[in-house]
Amino acid sequence: MKIIDKELNPELLEIVNEFSEWFFQQDRTLIKINGESDENEYRTSVEYLNSIDKEKHIGFPEITYGVDLTHIESTPVEFREKIIKTDNKLNAFFGSKFCAVKMYYPNSGYMGWHTNWNCPGYNILLSYNHTGDGYFRYIDPITKEPVTQLDVKGWQAKVGYFGNKKEKDKIVWHCARSNSERITFGYVIPDENMWKMMVDDL
């Protein structure tokens, strides 16, 4: 995964800043968090990754502490209109096939190791971290070495390709964690050339 280290496109920033400013004014205690906290960070460790039965892995994370904001049973009704409107704006901006995830991480939230090989494609990940105290971690599919990319305070974009189960040199095991509140939107772009254009526009 590559971090976009330049200032993001003003049109994109307007959309995501409007959402994060709104979101953090809401009562987040109304959100029903799934999973259990993991204070020692074991479930985002390489040790834990090595314990996963990779043949049985289906692509989704097997364990998380947080919630996808699209889950009806977890997100308050009064939040949904804003979430849907923001999603529509971002889908239109990216020309994306769909939004793969809208994840909210509470303090000490995490998304365990997974591959997305059930939903392969060219991805754009947008993350907002309240303090910058978090990270995205992945295994480089070529070197097989772990890479940890630290969050920044505010919005950050990452781009890359998540391969399917047959693309052995493009399978990207990845996870994320945050010690402060964090939001991630993940979009899948249907075409490589379109994705490259959007990466340039970021």
Q: Give residue 55's identity as a one-letter amino acid code.
A: E
How far apart (Å, rounded) are the C-alpha atoms in residues 3 and 149? 8
pLDDT of amino acid 153: 95
Q: What pLDDT is recorded for position 5? A: 83
Residue identified by tokens 């998540």 is 162
| Structure tokens belonging to residue 121 | 């494609």
CA distance 172 to 186: 15
The secondary structure of 51-119 as a DSSP string is HS-TTT--SS-S-EEBEETT-TTTS-HHHHHHHHHHHHHHHHHHT-SEEEEEEEE-TTEEEEEE--TTS
Give the model confidence (pLDDT) of 18-53 as tens digits. Answer: 999 999 999 999 999 999 999 789 999 999 999 999
Give this prediction's pTM.
0.93
pLDDT tens digits for range 139-164: 999 999 999 999 999 999 999 999 99
What are the phi and psi torsion angles at 112 (to 5°)?
A: -70, 175
179 DSSP assignment: S
Tokens representing 119? 């939903």
Nearest to 9 by CA among 137, 151, 162, 197: 197
Q: Give the confidence band of 72 by pLDDT, cuts at 50, 70, 90.
A: confident
All structural domains of the chain, each given as residue ranges with its CATH number in brackets, are 2-201 (2.60.120)
